[in-house]
Amino acid sequence: MIRDLTDPGVDEIIERYRRYWNNEEAEEGNRSLFQFNPARPMGDTPDPHPLELPPLLDPFPFGEGIRRSYEEHGLLNDDLLRMVGTGITSEVLIGCRVAVRAGTHWAEPAFVDWKQFDDYRVEDNPWFQRLIENTKRALDGVDGERYPFSCMAFRGAVDMAEALMKGERLCAAIVDHPQQLKDLLARITDITIAAARAHSDLLPRFRGGQFNSYGTWAPGSTVTFTLDGGCLFSPAVYEEFFLPCDRRLCEAFERPFVHLHAASRQHFVAWTEIPNLGLQCVIDQAWLPEGRNLPIGPQLPELLADFKQIRQTKSLMIYGYWNEEWLDLATAELAAGGCAINGMVDDPQAIRQKYMQMPAA
């Protein structure tokens, strides 16, 4: 078992990620990157509460916990890396309170007026200050040459604006206050870039790259951001209001990585045309407590044409609830080189035995 980045076996792992990012053709007999977890419904939150500022991190016990974890479980979770992270929920950086309930985090609206960020400095935000301080403390306690520190996952401009204003008000602003909304989105993007760069600049480089929050090494500076709210808008509206923000965020990093949902496939072409952007797409299903899946939006068979088009120019990570039928379809239709498949399955061990015997591309 490979336990940390000093193991000689890491050379091939990093080379594998380099080939993935470069969308290189796989050698005959090689397979896609895989990572599988047992399927289960989202847990509830027995004590809903507001998210509070994290305490100051104590470097020594934090480092000891990290070392024990990697010693016990190793560096890899199937083909993807287990990461060390100090990230926060990014909506707090624009003043949103966050409620912890129903098994996840929910940002609460904080829109005041169109100029509320004109004189705002994210460096004065206590959440930003704690992020930076705790990252420094984590690096004091953990050897960054031995364990992979992950970049932070941020909400992209469309998601930050939706958190700030909520969907109905955001959609109305497209019609009623277009220029004011564009100015607000530009400032939100300024804030995101400033925070993301400040955090990323603290993280050690490894073989000239950094680690992203989805378990891969990237050949350059990286950040993860989400664009869930893209599903609300037509391609024309998104291109006018939000795509310029996505491009600016990508220009601030060498190999950014974005989390998307299949419900936003009307924008796949636009995102694919951003040259340095890596893509991850979620095929949505709800795993219900009674043990069955409820499809939400387009599913794999109707997405294959879109995925093939993406794969003509760049790599793609696909997340979903997988069964053998879908895995057979994906591996038959999508070239192994530059393809990563991860998510939940009923029986991870059986899936590993069937699909992970060949070497990864």
pTM of the model: 0.96
Residue 164 sits in a domain whose CATH number is: 3.20.20.210
Q: Residue 325 pLDDT > 80, yes or no?
A: yes
Q: Residue 290 pLDDT > 70, yes or no?
A: no
Q: What kind and span of H or E run contains 193?
A: helix 178-202
With respect to residue 156, please indicate whether it lies within any of the assigned structural domains. Answer: yes
Q: Residue 240 pLDDT > 70, yes or no?
A: yes
pLDDT, tens only, 138-164:
999 999 999 999 999 999 999 999 999
pLDDT, tens only, 255-267:
999 999 999 999 9
Please give the tally of structural domains in the chain.
1
- C-alpha span between 170 and 34 (Å, rounded): 37
With respect to residue 1, please indicate whether it lies within any of the assigned structural domains. Answer: no
Q: Residue 103 pLDDT > 90, yes or no?
A: no
Question: At 291, is the pLDDT very low, low, confident or very high (cuts 50, 70, 90)?
Answer: low
With respect to residue 3, please indicate whether it lies within any of the assigned structural domains. Answer: no
With respect to residue 4, please indicate whether it lies within any of the assigned structural domains. Answer: no
Residue 39 pLDDT:
87
- C-alpha span between 56 and 38 (Å, rounded): 33
Mean pLDDT on 165-176:
98
Mean pLDDT on 326-340:
97
Question: At 293, is the pLDDT very low, low, confident or very high (cuts 50, 70, 90)?
Answer: confident
Residue 110 pLDDT:
98
Neighbouring-strand partners of residue 295 = 285
For 55-64, 148-157, 252-261, 282-291, which range has the lowest pLDDT when averaged over its residues?
Answer: 282-291
Q: What kind and span of H or E run contains 354?
A: helix 348-355
Angle among Cα 14, 255, 307 to the nearest 5 degrees reads 90
Q: What kind and span of H or E run contains 320?
A: strand 316-321
With respect to residue 244, please indicate whether it lies within any of the assigned structural domains. Answer: yes
With respect to residue 2, please indicate whether it lies within any of the assigned structural domains. Answer: no
- Give pairs for 347-351: CB < 8 Å, separation 24+: 347/38, 348/36, 348/37, 348/38, 351/36, 351/322, 351/324, 351/327
- Give pairs for 54-59: CB < 8 Å, separation 24+: 54/88, 54/130, 54/134, 56/130, 56/133, 56/134, 56/137, 57/86, 57/133, 57/134, 57/137, 57/138, 57/141, 58/137, 58/141, 59/137, 59/138, 59/140, 59/141, 59/142
With respect to residue 360, please indicate whether it lies within any of the assigned structural domains. Answer: no
With respect to residue 30, please indicate whether it lies within any of the assigned structural domains. Answer: yes
Residue 286 pLDDT:
78
- Per the structure, the complete domain to which residue 99 belongs is given by 10-355
User: What is the sign of the dihedral through the CA atoms of 56, 59, 61 and 65?
Assistant: positive
